[in-house]
Amino acid sequence: MQGLAGSWKDAVEHGVFAMSYSKDSAMTFVDYRDVAEATAFVGNDLVGGTFELAAGGMVTRSEIADLMSRHAGPTTVAQDVDPDVALLGMPAGQMRDGLQAMFADYTAHGFHGGNNLVLRTILDRAPRTLDSYLAERAA
C-alpha cells in the first residue's frame, strides 16, 4: 500500500492516478506495517515457512481512484500512461527491459495475491485495508 504514496500527491493536487499498466488490471495490496508486525511474531513454529501475506481482495486502479476521490477530496481519475512514454530517458538495458515486461504483465494479468487468511492468522486481527490506508493518508 505504501507504494501508492507517490501517487497520492497527484491524486490530491491534480485528480489523476496514472500508472504504466491498465487501469482495469486487478491487484492485491498489503500494508508494510502489517508485514513488519507479522515478521515480529514469527516464532519457532513458523521458522522456515513460506507465507503469502496479503490484505485480501483484488482492486483495479479505477477502484483505487474512486477510493482516493472519497478520501482526497477532488475527483480522481485513473489514467493509463504508455510505458514507452513513462520510460523516456531511461537508458536501454536490463532495468528498462524489466520494467517494460512488468508493465506488460500487469496489463495482461494484474498482480494476484491471496486472501487475508494467513496474515490475519499470524496477526490475530484483520489486516489493514486499502480503504483504511487511504483514509490515514488523507488525515
CATH number at residue 79: 3.40.50.720
For the chain, what is the domain count? 1
The residue whose grid cell reads 515457512 is: 49
Q: How far is CA 139 from the centre of its chain?
A: 19
pLDDT tens for each residue of the chain, 139 residues long:
999 998 888 888 999 999 999 999 999 999 999 999 988 766 667 777 888 889 988 999 999 999 999 998 779 999 999 999 999 999 999 999 999 999 999 999 999 887 899 999 989 999 999 999 999 999 8
Q: Residue 29: which domain range?
A: 2-138
The residue whose grid cell reads 488490471 is: 25
Residue 4 contacts residue 61 (beta carbons within 8 Å): no
The residue whose grid cell reads 500512461 is: 81
Helix ranges, the chain (H): 5-14, 32-40, 61-72, 83-86, 94-109, 117-123, 130-138
